Amino acid sequence: MYLRHFSLREPPFSITPDPAFFYPHEGAQAVLNTLLVALRSGEGFLKIVGEVGCGKTLLCRQLLRTLQDEFVTAYIPNPDMGPDDLLMALARELNIELVPPLSRHKVLASLQQRLLQHAEAGRPVLVCIDEAQSTRLATLESLRLLSNLETEKHKLLQIVLFGQPELDAVLANPQIRQLLQRITFSEYLGGMRPERVGTYLAHRLAVAAEDALTDIRVFEPQAAAALARYSRGVPRLINVLAHKCLLLAYGENTHRVQVRHVELAAADTPGVLPPLTRWQRWWQRLRGRPTLPRQPRTGAVS
């Protein structure tokens, strides 16, 4: 590997969502700020939608990390389960001991009791549902019923849904229209601006560096610009391309990534589209939202 070559203690461009590498570019920081304000204000239901690879899971983990001293938190990474299984998963996340035989009524009563205990201690409870576009309608309805639990002044449970754009289609189903009305804040998480890619690369290299003397100026400015063009600002694609660029530079025994390395990495990476034309860049700025490549469904997503 190239770690010793670049004086790194860990891979800087892993696609594992590690909060230590969170980079607060404009879009991600704006969404995080909205979540923090809304949750601290006691809002019940919130929704974050973003394309594949734009960092929803990393944002979710950064949110949980930020609020860990203020909230009791629960994280459901895969909500493709029935209503009863979801209740059991929440009970496990909240460290509730359930004694068989179990019934939905018994699990709900235990959940409500634990939520009341946390409320009396002044500790609000936050549940983050990742990959929420996979949630079944009956399970979403169960979540809505859970959100009804409240005292005279406060919700006992706050829920944030993180999902791909398909989540909007799921929530538009008339069968769960009551849930849609409960969502008080909804935000879109897109890719980062091209001019931020260079500092993003340097940020991740700095986090992974062996010490303060490590040279993090690995990517030449033209190479960072090329990376921004090929990735369209999608963090996961940036990480995949940057990792391959470091491998290429290491293979050539050089400490600088150049444009040709980026082009070779892009040619070897499925899902990477040609850079936008001038007209496409103009249209992207006009819309105020990045034009993102649709990634193939290959298992793990952000």
Read off the pLDDT of each residue in 7-24 and give the average, rounded to a whole number.
95
Q: Are residues 126 and 68 in the same domain?
A: yes
pLDDT mean over 106-134: 92
Q: Tell me which of 13-17, 49-53, 250-254, 272-276 is least confident.
A: 272-276
Condensed to tens digits (0 to 9), the pLDDT of residues 137-172 reads 999 988 888 887 776 677 889 999 999 999 999 999
Asked if the structure places residue 114 within a domain, the reply is: yes
205, part of any domain? yes
203 plus 244 within the same structural domain: yes
Which whole-number Å values give the CA distances from 115 to 96, 120, 126, 209, 248, in the listed order? 10, 9, 10, 42, 53
- Statement to judge: residues 154 and 208 lie in one domain: no
Per residue in 257-302, pLDDT tens? 999 999 999 999 987 866 666 675 666 666 555 444 444 433 333 3
The domain boundary residue, chosen from 133, 156, 189? 189
**Residue 242: predicted pLDDT:** 97
Residue 19 lies in a domain: no
**Structure-block tokens of residue 123:** 């500790």
The enclosing domain of 89 has a CATH number of 3.40.50.300
Q: Is residue 194's pLDDT more than 70? A: yes
183 and 41 fall within a common domain = yes
- Please indicate, yes or no, whether residues 143 and 239 belong to a single structural domain of this protein: no
Instruction: Determine the pLDDT at residue 81.
Output: 93
Which residue among 139, 166, 189 closes a domain? Answer: 189
Residue of 290, 91, 78, 233 lying closest to 163 (CA atoms): 78
Domain-embedded: residue 99: yes
Share of the chain above pLDDT 90, in %: 68
* Any domain includes 165: yes
Residues 88 and 230 in one domain: no
Structural domain count, the chain = 2
Confirm whether 295 is domain-assigned: no
The tally of CA atoms less than 13 A away on the side-chain side of residue 65 is 13
Q: Are residues 140 and 176 in the same domain?
A: yes
- Per the structure, the complete domain to which residue 33 belongs is given by 26-189
Q: Are residues 165 and 268 in the same domain?
A: no
CA–CA dist 220, 209 (Å, integer)? 18
Of 142, 159, 189, the domain-final residue:
189
182/238 same-domain check: no
Both 141 and 201 in one domain: the answer is no
What is the residue-averaged pLDDT of the chain? 88
Residue 217 shares a structural domain with residue 94: no
Q: Are residues 116 and 226 in the same domain?
A: no
Residue 257 sits in a domain whose CATH number is: 1.10.8.60
Residue 294 in any domain: the answer is no
pTM of the model: 0.86
**How many CB atoms lie under 10 A from the CB of residue 120?**
9
- Flag whether 15 is in a domain: no
Do residues 38 and 46 lie in contact, with contact meaning Cβ atoms separated by under 8 Å? yes
